[in-house]
Amino acid sequence: MDALKKISETSMKENAPQVEIGDTVKVHVRIKEGDKSRIQVFEGTVIAKKHGGISETFTVRRVAHGCGIERVFPLHSPAVDKVELVRHGKVRRAKLYYLRDRVGKAAKVKELI
């Protein structure tokens, strides 16, 4: 157990992004296609955070062409290049799964001023 803690501490990112529930973020993901790699940007609202430590993940939701898309990103993954904060959201819940059932303006999160 002690060896596992040491391995997890060394592989954790020092400047891990501070994402909160309800924030709108741009996640820059490194995608490998064959022998080439490129950066793809996924922008959406953070609807959930799970676990903690090395295995911490966050779920980002966006609506593209009328279809809802959700992706789960490991916070300390080397595939996640960087996370840009677009705006803070004002929410009162830890999980925003109720946004899945909403469409249009009802699916938006108010901005925290």
**pTM recorded for the entire structure:** 0.90
Residue 68 within any structural domain of the chain: yes
List pLDDT tens digits, range 74-97. 999 999 999 999 999 999 999 999
User: Which residue range is the domain that position 53 belongs to?
Assistant: 2-107
Please give the tally of structural domains in the chain: 1
Q: Residues of the chain whose pLDDT is less than 70?
A: none
CATH, residue 99: 2.30.30.790
Residue 112 within any structural domain of the chain: no
Residue 27 within any structural domain of the chain: yes
SS3 annotation, the chain: CHHHHHHHHHHCCCCCCCCCCCCEEEEEEEEEECCEEEEEEEEEEEEEEECCHHHCEEEEEEEECCEEEEEEEECCCCCEEEEEEEECECCCCCCCHHHHHCCHHHHCCCECC
